[in-house]
Amino acid sequence: MNTLGIIEPMSLPEDPILPVEPPHESESSAARVRRRRATRRSSAIPTDAEGQAELIASLARRAYPSIELFVFSLACGAILGLGYLLDSQAVLLFGILVAPLMTPWVGFLLALLSGSMRFMFETVMALIISLAFVFLGGLITGFAARLFMPITLNNVFLHSRLWIPELLVFALGAITLVISFARSEDKPFLPSVLIAYAFYLPISASGFGIGSGLPDVWLQGLLVFAVHFGMTSVLGLITLFILRLRPSLGGILLSGLTLVLFIGLLVFLMGSGSPFRTEAPSVSTPTTEIIAPPPTTTPSLPATSTQSPQLTATSAQRTQTPTAISSEEATTDVSPSAVPLTLEITLPATETPTITLTIQPTPVYGKVAANEGGGANLRDAPGGTYVMTLLNGTIVEATSEFADVNTITWVKVIATVNGQRIEGWLLESVISYATPAPNFEATATPNSTPTPSVTPKP
């Protein structure tokens, strides 16, 4: 409206009005978080010192251990121990799915990178407590397994050994977990399951081995865990370096020392072959010296009455037959004539001594040497009902009874378990014979019948 009171039409600008982004100073905290999240998802790791410090601090907060780590570790340990007791792969897999998110392990790597001793102590202690819960679950179920012996425990031996395919999968899981955790706000569940599989299964097998009294299983489980932890930690640190996260000066020293320690541990353990050792060699090339008790041959000599030959001597009496003596002979000394002596030896019929030498068939001893599982199942018949599990290294006496069922050869064996002789059938392929020739037959019982003949002559 002008001074004259006339209303003029309002004119609009020809150019469109665009919204202007407010300066960063006036951004709210939620907006900054959204912008940082979008920047992290769309771009690489920041290269400036301030951006990297902010990123490492954010990752450390996400990796800090919480109460969920200990609760889920306790549940995971109980389920894994039950899986070993039931010898069930399905229960073991369920236990791994219940395992907590392995972000504290990533926090341990970030502590090495940043050189923060306090944060490293907190993450290491959290991991140790988590592993102790899993170990305790295996230990308790191991003691419970003593009540049900003998039982099949193939999975305990399976997860207390190193396997090359598993090492490759664990290496891929470690790299994927570190990359996913550093470049995304989402929780990397799948690679975390692989790391939990690498850490918790051998630890639980070690505790179960102590509780159940299985020889050397607990030590093998600890060695397998050490190899898995060292390998994944080395690959995780290298992955953080590749992502261009620059460590501090203390982080360089701490990371370098840890890398040298872990690599030396891997070289020592894998070079010595400790976790790879099995209880017995394969059947095709037996190289283990088997010390078997020497077979004892007990000859059986029945008692037979033997009469000594009687000697009867009948001699003729010396007689002098008077004859007519001439006069000339009467005056001379006459000596009696020699009378022949007849010696008659009479050998009465006697019982012929018979020596019966009963020699048992030479026993053939073998050693249970299953390639997988740490033992073999003993059955009451070829492919029949399960009797018990014979662990690798158990000495068995193989009989000469064989059976072929569906082109699979079974052999009847005798095993001594806890002082009791138990007979059953085993697969011939799981027995490593002490002798180089596995084709054996029972030896026949020889009869030795010496018949002495005495024919004395005068």
**Are residues 119 and 238 both part of a single domain?**
yes
351 lies in some domain: no
358 lies in some domain: no
Q: 244 pLDDT exceeds 70? A: yes
260 lies in some domain: yes
C-alpha 225/C-alpha 203 separation (Å) is 6
pLDDT in tens, 13-61: 444 433 444 444 445 666 665 655 555 544 467 777 777 778 888 888 8
Rg over CA atoms, the chain = 46
| Residue that finishes a domain, picked among 235, 257, 272 | 272
**Are residues 96 and 227 both part of a single domain?**
yes
* Residue 386: pLDDT band with limits 50, 70, 90: confident
* Residue 209: pLDDT band with limits 50, 70, 90: very high
Supply the pLDDT for residue 401: 86
pLDDT > 90: percent of the chain: 28
C-alpha 327/C-alpha 347 separation (Å) is 50
Supply the pLDDT for residue 326: 41
pLDDT in tens, 127-137: 999 999 999 99
Could you tell me which residue, 419 or 223, shows the higher pLDDT?
Answer: 223
The CATH code of the domain that includes 397 is 2.30.30
Mean pLDDT, the chain, rounded, equals 74
**Are residues 255 and 108 both part of a single domain?**
yes
Structure tokens at 286: 């037996």
C-alpha 177/C-alpha 189 separation (Å) is 9
The predicted model scores a pTM of 0.55
Supply the pLDDT for residue 7: 45
**CA dihedral defined by 174, 176, 181, 185, rounded to 10 degrees?**
-150
| Residue that finishes a domain, picked among 234, 250, 272 | 272
93 lies in some domain: yes
53 lies in some domain: yes
Could you tell me which residue, 341 or 34, shows the higher pLDDT?
Answer: 34
pLDDT in tens, 18-29: 344 444 444 566
pLDDT in tens, 70-108: 999 999 999 999 999 999 999 999 999 999 999 999 999
pLDDT in tens, 420-440: 888 899 888 888 886 555 555
Supply the pLDDT for residue 99: 94
**Are residues 60 and 173 both part of a single domain?**
yes
Domain assignment of residue 48, given as a range? 43-272
Query: Could you tell me which residues come within 8 angstroms of residue 28 by beta carbon, excluding any fewer than 6 positions away?
Result: none
Determine contact, residues 391/217, Cβ cutoff 8 Å: no
**Are residues 238 and 125 both part of a single domain?**
yes
- Residue whose entry in the numeric block shows the structure tokens 């070993």: 84
Q: What value does the mean pLDDT take over residues 255-275? A: 71
Strands (DSSP E) found in 247-373 = 364-368
441 lies in some domain: no
Q: What value does the mean pLDDT take over residues 216-221? A: 89
Counting the structural domains of the chain, the total is 2
Q: Which of 296, 409, 426 is nearest to 367 (CA)?
A: 426
Supply the pLDDT for residue 433: 80
Could you tell me which residue, 196 or 399, shows the higher pLDDT?
Answer: 196
3-class DSSP assignment, residue 458: coil
Supply the pLDDT for residue 387: 84
245 lies in some domain: yes
| Residue that finishes a domain, picked among 272, 294, 319 | 272
**Are residues 266 and 375 both part of a single domain?**
no
192 lies in some domain: yes
**Are residues 122 and 225 both part of a single domain?**
yes
**Are residues 254 and 370 both part of a single domain?**
no
